[in-house]
Structure formats: C-alpha cells, structure tokens
Structure 1
Amino acid sequence: MNPSSDLVNKLWRLCAILRKDGITYQQYVTELTYLLFLKMMHEQGREDDFLPEKYRWSTITAREGIDQLTHYRRLLTELGDPENKLPRRVSAIFDNASTFLREPVNLAKLVSSIDALDWYSADRDSFGDLYEGLLQKNAEETKKGAGQYFTPRVLIEAMVELMDPQPGEVIQDPALGTGGFIIAADTHIRRKTDDYLDLTEKQQVFQTRNAYHGIENVPGTYRLLLMNLHLHGVDSDHVLLADSLSPAGASLSKADLILTNPPFGPAGGRPTRDDLTITHSVSSYQLPFVEHCLRSLKPGGRAAIVVPDNVLFEDGKGKQLRQKIMDEANLHTILRLPTGIFYAQGVKTNVIFLEKADEGASKTTQEVWVYDMRANMPAFGKTAPLTPEHLKPFVEAYAAEARQDEGEEGRFRCFTREAIEARGDNLDITWLRDESETEEIGEPEDIAAAIMSELQIAMAAIETLTAELEGEDEDALVAAE
C-alpha cells in the first residue's frame, strides 16, 4: 500500500470517533480540512507565511480538555475573520468555520491521532493525494450529496488525456466541485514540461497565476475545493464562489479548454445572466450550463462535458441547443457512459466532445462519432469501480489517426449530420441490444438513487416545458398589445 493510501485509511477509521458525536461523513471531512490544513502548514514549515503564532498547530496540541476545545473554536473564528487580513486561501478555507465537535475528548482523540501519523514523504503530491483520497472516501460512503461533486478520477484523467491541455491555455471548469479537472489538467501540463522547468519565466508566471478559472456555488464544497487546490499547488485566484448561471458566469475569461461535469436537475430558478439566448428561461442546470460552455469557448477552443441523457434527446429548448452546438462547433464525439460510476447518482450520462468554430461558420458538425460504453457492460458501483482498462478501448478509438466505424456489432459508429437531422437532431443514439438491462440493479439504496436521479431529470424536463409554454404566452400577450 502506498503511503498516502495508508494515511487515508487510518484517517477514515477515525471517523468512527466522530460518528458517535452525531457527525456526518460530510461534516467529518470538513472538520479534517481545518485540522489537516493546520497540521500540514506545520509539517511543511510554512506557518510563518500563513498563520499567526497564536493560531498554529502547536497551540492546539499544547492544550487539553475544555481549554483545547475552546481555543480551537476561537481559532476557527479568528482565521476566518476578514478583519484579520490573512492570506486569501486561509480566510476562504476558514470562512464561517465552526466545529461540529461537542465533546473535548473527541477533539483530543482526533488531534492526537493526526499528530501521531507518519507524515514524511518526498513526493510533492503526497498531501494532495491524501486529501483527494479522503474526498473519494466521502463520496463512496455518502449516497446523497457528496457524489454530486466527485467525478471518478479515472474518467477525469481519460478526458484530460484526450483533450491534451497545453501550456499557455486558459482552462475553465464552471462547475468545479472539488477541482478534479483543473488539478488533473495541471498535473498533465507539469508532466509535459518537467514541472514547468521547460517553460520561460513568463510562461511559468501564466501557469501559476492565470491558467485556471472556474466557479463553485456551494460554500461547503468551495472550502474543500480551495484545500484541494492548495495541496496540489494550483492557484485559486480565479476560482470564485458564485453561480455560473448568474452574471459571474458570464464574466469568466474566455477559455481555450473547458473540462466539466455540471450539476443536473431543477436549479431553483431561471438563469439571472443576460447572455443566454436559448436557455435563458430554463429552470434546470444541464441545458444552461452546456450553452455557457459553448459561449465561453474561444474560436478553436475545445470542450469535454459530462451531460445526462436528456441533453441529447430533449425536445424544445434542448433540440434548439443541440442545433446551435452543431452549427457553431464541431460536435465530433459522444461517449455513452455506463451507469453506476458516479457515487451518489444512478443517472445515465455521456461525455460530449466539441471544438468551437471560427465566427460566422455554419453547420460546422459534419459527422458525429458515438462510442457506446453502456450496453453490455458490467455493473459498476462502490465494490466494482470504473478502471482505466474499461476506458482504454474508447481512448484508443478516439485517438486513432483514422477512425473506424465498427458497424452494428461494434461500439464505435459514425453518423452524418444528414442522418442526425433525419432523426430530428436527436443524439441519443443506440444500436446495440443491451442484454445487461435484464440483470438485477443492485442494492436497495442504489435502486433508490437511480429512481431519484430519473425523477430529477423528469422534473427538469417538465420545468423546461412549462417555462417554454409561459414564454409563448408572454410573447402572445406582447403581440396582442
């Protein structure tokens, strides 16, 4: 077992301590975020750069009992207070921080256990891998909530490999979650450039300060995001706590590359930004997010976007959006993902790969290649996760110099724009008989998650249709006046 995996398992076992104090998995990871940040600053010798002397790791370990818990509570408040003018990453990670711990003995056990772990490693990414391992554990254990922002690492790495981010590119994720995509993109670029040493000084400055942009709209997730970026050495100056469907999303820098897994389901209201033309009245996440991605790309920019099935087949606004994408970009590949690979959801998803055309281009998409990785695949889940070997055939087919249509018995097929138009611009294309559909779905909680996700998609579709009908009524009233 590698050192960071061993630490992850040891830290996760400590969760049993806090579960007795009524703390959830999500709260446990948040509590660990505070303590691990302080501990890691101590281990890395960086406390002078970030923390006042009276609020460092040693000030916690030097106390006992109620005094320790009282000091810890005060520390959380002070580190998150903007009046103290601490470095942004500190004040943001500790913003509105408070402990979920009620019993001094539980804090003492947690602190002593963390302090006793062997933290030494020469690997620059060891702390980052440790923290990402904790996030993955949280997603595995939490059927509701956590998996919504944790995309399987193997899928992220495959998407990044195929998109091949380059030094000097502006890379964006408008639904950051815990930052998996931009961390993987940065790792990819570092690997290509000898950890940036092959770059000029000007290029290094760009990579460390201006390359990565994005938005996360959930404060608790934003805290985990900042910690994850910090531990991986990725700058967070252009990472915002905001709503991508608000004016903040419209203000994001135009991107050379977008990598994202947007949220889905009802959004609780229409977008409040004024630049969306097709989805401005849609009260769900998935369609407006896809339009954002198209609008936010520079000419020639690339995107790989995880979307639920309804984005590929929904009528009305969905169809109009697909037509806009195929007219203004080359929507060249669709990967139909297997079910069960996202920890909290049973939703059926795809990855769409596109490249935006130059201004004025029309009917840019000439053909769409569809890879069916869903039909006749094993049942994925916590005990049977997606692996690189599962994705390897798609990666090889995607990257081939001359793509081959594998016919009705194969997984990779090509469909012309004319054939797609004849289908009513429906891109939910299947041809393989899926024998696995007759197999048992799985555990009751997995069945419930699958039903819930389908209901969310259905509710989003109903809200979209309702908004369209309301829009037509408003247009009719204006015409009558």
Structure 2
Amino acid sequence: MNGPRSREIVQKLWNASKSLQGGGVTYFEYVTELTYLLFLKMLEEVSRSGRKLEEGVPQDCRWGSIKSRVGDDRLTHYRAVLLKLGTSPDVRSPLVKQVFQDAKTSITKPTSLTSLITTIDDIDWYAAEEDGLGDLYEGLLEKTTSERKSKAGQYFTPRALIDCLVRLMKPEPGEIIQDPAAGTGGFLIAAHRRVLNLTDDLTTLGAGAAFFQRNSALQGCELITGTHRLCTMNMLLHGIDTPIQPYDTLSSEAEDLDPADLVLTNPPFNKFPESVFRTDFSITADQRKGPLPFVEHIVRALKHGGRAAVVVPDNVLFEDNTGRRLRTWLMDLCNLHTILRLPTGIFYAQGVKTNVLFLQRGKTDRSNTQAVWVYDMRANMPAFGKTRPLTVADFVGFETAYGTDPNGGAERTEQGEDGRWRMFSRDAIAARNDNLDIAWLRDTEAEAEEALTEPEDIAAAIIGHLKAALEEIEALSEELEPDIVEEAATVAEAAE
C-alpha cells in the first residue's frame, strides 16, 4: 500500500470492526460488510472525479439514499438495497451485480450500521483518492487475510511474494495474463500495475490497446463467492473494468478462457471430494480436485512460448503415480527451468511447505526441460509469522541468482553443496523417478519454530503440521482404498 494516509484510514476502518465483534461478526464478514458500503461510497466519490460508475446504480440504492435514513428504517432499507442490487433488472452494471450477488448483511443492530456509515463518511476521501482507492482496499484485504488465516485450502499469497514473481516474470502490455485461482486478485492487480508503470498509465498506448488492457488482458477464475466479491471490488478500484469470472477452473467452464502469455497463480493446496471434469484433461482427468489438476490446467492454458510462475505444495514435487506422470509430462511439454523452495510459515500455517515452479511452454511437446535450477530459501531461514513477516528484502538473493530473463535464460552460477542455488540435469532428475523435492542443506525448521513467541504463530505451526501429516496419511490411503479416502474427505469438509 502506498501512502501513510491510506494506512491511517485502513487502521481507522479496522478499529471500527471492534464494535461489531461483540455481535458475532467475524473479520471476514466485517470486510465483506465494508465491501458493500465502501463500494457504494466509492462509486459516489469516483463519479465526482469523472468515472460515471454510479450511473449503473438506481437512485434509491446509492450511498446518499442509505445515509439519509435513520434507525430501524436505515437497516431495513439497507437490507432491501443489498437484495435489489444483486437481482433487479434496474441495475444495469454487471460489475455491481457481481459485487452484490447473494449479498446479505451480518449486521443486526441499527446502531452498528450507523457506526460504520459514520466512520466511512468521516474519511478524508480526497486524501484517500490521492493515495489510491485500490491501495486502501488492498490494505483492508491484507488485514483480513492475516486475521482469517486459512480455510478449505485457501492460503492467501503474501504481498512480498506476489511482487517478487511479477518482477521476475515481467508482464508486458498486450499480453493475456491469467490467474486460474485468483483469490482477491493480487497477482492480476500487481501485473496490471507493472503495465501501467511501463505505459505511463496506458497513455502511451493507442486507444485499442488501452481498451484491451482494461477489458481483456487480465483473465481468470475464482469459485468462492465471498472471495470473488472481494476480487471484483479490488480490480474495479484499480481501474480494471472487466473482473474475472466466478468459474470453477477444474470444470468445463474454464475451457473458454483465452490461451495465456503468462500465468501467475497460487492454487488451493488441499484436495477436495469432487472430481475434475475437463474434456481436455488427460493426466488428471477424473482425479479429485486439488493442486495436481491445477498444474495440468496451467500447462494447457499457456500459449506455445508462454510462461508461468505457480505456487504449489511440496507433495506436487514428490507424489507418486499421477503426480509422477504429471511431472514427466510437464517437463516434456515445458522447460521447467527453476524451482524456488519457499520458507514455511508464510501462508499462516507453519507446517505448510510450498514452492514456486517457473516454466515456459515449449514450441514443441518433446524434451523441453534439459536442466532444473533449485533455490533453497527454506533451510537456515527465520521463523516467519505475525512478528516476522515475509519482506521484499528476503527475496534479494533469489532474484539476483534468477537473473533478468523471465524464462530463466540469463547466465547463472552454481553455488555448490554449501550454497542455496544449484543446477540438476534432466538425467539426474530422471534417476530420481522425476521426484523434484530436492534438498541438500540441513533443515532448520524445527529450530526456527522454537523461536516463535506469538500464540497465533505457535497454534498455526501445530495446525500446519497436523494438516501435513493428515495429507500424507490421505495420500497413502488413497493408493490402498479410494472409497475410504473419499468418505474421509467428505467428513473433513463437513467438519470445516
């Protein structure tokens, strides 16, 4: 987030959440509630600056209409507004309908609604617009994800990691950039921001190219309704006029996405009870939805010569059977030139071990990977958590080693067995049965976790290790008895 004034506004809005927590309103529900109200307020503010977005909202549903009422009448009217904006044919803006689809309020007291409206109305919106309304909203989302932790395999990507991957992959004007698991839109917005910087806010582009950048360049899917709502709001406030679709990437819906020049994504880490339904899949067809099918989607989504950076859990690197077939297929079709072993604790669950795969789709579909470079950012690292968040500075060593070519073609220097940066030939990987879980430095994760002091971080570490252990048991059981695993997954989903 850019300016100190925006940070002050975010803190002010966040402090207002305390008044609702006594009524059982969660952080996520609070930010969703703020999304409804801030959306209407920001439409009013943005319309004053020339973007006539408020014209798509009926008069009796605008910010001023809600603000003009008091007491029980205000709360009753607010509930009616949420319903109307999501369903009425009078709402001409598809963006508005996406934000308010299935919207309902968690507020039960008129005084709580009045408190929120007063807080929002007291904001210095001139200062907020100078710093960027999108950055203000992103600040709220970051607050939410740090409090919400993770659920159902959704691990929200740290901003420092997003910015690192965008710097390395270098999105360009005119490219189709896709995120098939978009979350709140972090990757797409960061990519868009780089394009804005390259084109002086699109002013150096022709009218057609600028229109493409706002309306067609950024594509993807987000299935979870609440998260999709936040994504739509976030992208709209960053000047992106066509948000991503509420599609299931692992169903036939996603087959309509355009071939991508660049994929940036952090798919769900968990497996789900439902099966994949994609007519174009071969490796993971009929498998349970999870990270492996997302990897197949990414390879198929890329144009020949297209590139990708994708966050995956460790089991994608070593899982046998379907996992091994997928890795072999991927290394044939793509040049998997780099793997970054990420530290634990950065996804709000200490035991979750993750990596970034950097790859380029080949011009042909044979023998594209000749060597894989691995950077170990996991061993001998601090215990990341609330008191020690991931920062841009943590990626300096990796970015230097990676080089300036997005496709890994820059000159690289091996650091040997005592260093973090090593190269492994395709033959060496084949000798490992295409197991890409390659580590050579002493693992200091347990020592780092002993340094944790925050109760939230300690609890996250315990939960993360339990989840990792359960996933290993599940993988073993899946080989022995698929029906048992499906039943256990259904029970686990119900428990969440």
Query: TM-score normalised to the size of structure 2?
Result: 0.90
The offset of 1:37, in angstroms, is 0.5
Correspondence 1:129-208 to 2 at 5 A: 129-145=135-151, 148-208=154-214
The offset of 1:249, in angstroms, is 1.9
SS at match of 1:305: strand
| Aligned equivalent of 1:241, options 232, 239, 246 | 246
| Aligned equivalent of 1:42, options 38, 41, 44 | 44
Answer whether contact 2:155 2:348 (CA < 8 A) is retained. Answer: no
1:232 aligns with 2:241: no
SS at match of 2:292: helix
Answer whether contact 1:301 1:355 (CA < 8 A) is retained. Answer: yes
1:392 aligns with 2:396: yes
- Superposed CA deviations along residues 72-108 of structure 1, whole A, max 9, x for unmatched, are 1111111111433420010110111111110111111
Answer whether contact 1:284 1:460 (CA < 8 A) is retained. Answer: no
Quick one: percent identity of the two aligned structures?
Answer: 49
1:8 aligns with 2:10: yes
Partner of 1:315: 320
Partner of 1:479: none
Cα distance change, pair 456–285 in 1 and its aligned pair in 2 (3 A): farther
| Aligned equivalent of 1:366, options 370, 379, 384 | 370
- Superposed CA deviations along residues 235-279 of structure 1, whole A, max 9, x for unmatched, are 325x21121110012221110100000002122221011211111
Q: Which runs of 4+ in 1 moved over 4 A?
A: 122-125, 466-470
| Aligned equivalent of 1:378, options 379, 382, 387 | 382
Partner of 1:476: none
Correspondence 1:384-423 to 2 at 5 A: 384-399=388-403, 401-423=410-432
Answer whether contact 1:334 1:353 (CA < 8 A) is retained. Answer: yes
SS at match of 1:304: strand
Letter in 2 for 1:449: I
Q: CA RMSD in A?
A: 2.0
Structure 2 unmatched ranges of 5 or more: 405-409, 485-496
1:341 aligns with 2:346: yes
Answer whether contact 1:313 1:427 (CA < 8 A) is retained. Answer: yes
Partner of 1:453: 467
- Superposed CA deviations along residues 30-79 of structure 1, whole A, max 9, x for unmatched, are 00000000111122224642321111111122111101111111111111
- 68-77 vs 125-134, which moves further: 125-134
Letter in 2 for 1:399: G
Residues in 2 aligned to 1:290 and 1:47: alpha-carbon distance in whole angstroms: 37
The offset of 1:124, in angstroms, is 5.9
Letter in 1 for 2:257: L
- Superposed CA deviations along residues 122-165 of structure 1, whole A, max 9, x for unmatched, are 75662111111111111111234399252111100110111101
Cα distance change, pair 462–33 in 1 and its aligned pair in 2 (3 A): farther
Letter in 2 for 1:34: Y
Cα distance change, pair 122–34 in 1 and its aligned pair in 2 (3 A): closer
Residues in 2 aligned to 1:366 and 1:313: alpha-carbon distance in whole angstroms: 19
Letter in 1 for 2:28: Q
- 297-306 vs 124-133, which moves further: 124-133
SS at match of 1:241: coil
Letter in 2 for 1:358: K
Letter in 1 for 2:391: T
Structure 1 unmatched ranges of 5 or more: 471-481
Answer whether contact 1:31 1:99 (CA < 8 A) is retained. Answer: yes
Answer whether contact 1:138 1:146 (CA < 8 A) is retained. Answer: no
SS at match of 1:402: coil
Partner of 1:303: 308
Cα distance change, pair 146–36 in 1 and its aligned pair in 2 (3 A): farther
Answer whether contact 1:255 1:297 (CA < 8 A) is retained. Answer: yes
1:211 aligns with 2:213: no
- Superposed CA deviations along residues 274-300 of structure 1, whole A, max 9, x for unmatched, are 211111132141000000000110000
Answer whether contact 1:65 1:105 (CA < 8 A) is retained. Answer: yes
Partner of 1:475: none
Answer whether contact 1:281 1:467 (CA < 8 A) is retained. Answer: no
Cα distance change, pair 319–48 in 1 and its aligned pair in 2 (3 A): closer
Letter in 1 for 2:199: T
The offset of 1:455, in angstroms, is 4.2
Answer whether contact 2:9 2:123 (CA < 8 A) is retained. Answer: yes
- Superposed CA deviations along residues 288-333 of structure 1, whole A, max 9, x for unmatched, are 0000000110000000000000100111010010001111100000
Residues in 2 aligned to 1:219 and 1:466: alpha-carbon distance in whole angstroms: 35
Answer whether contact 1:266 1:460 (CA < 8 A) is retained. Answer: no
Cα distance change, pair 165–466 in 1 and its aligned pair in 2 (3 A): farther
Partner of 1:435: 444
Letter in 2 for 1:450: G
Correspondence 1:460-479 to 2 at 5 A: 461-462=475-476, 465=479
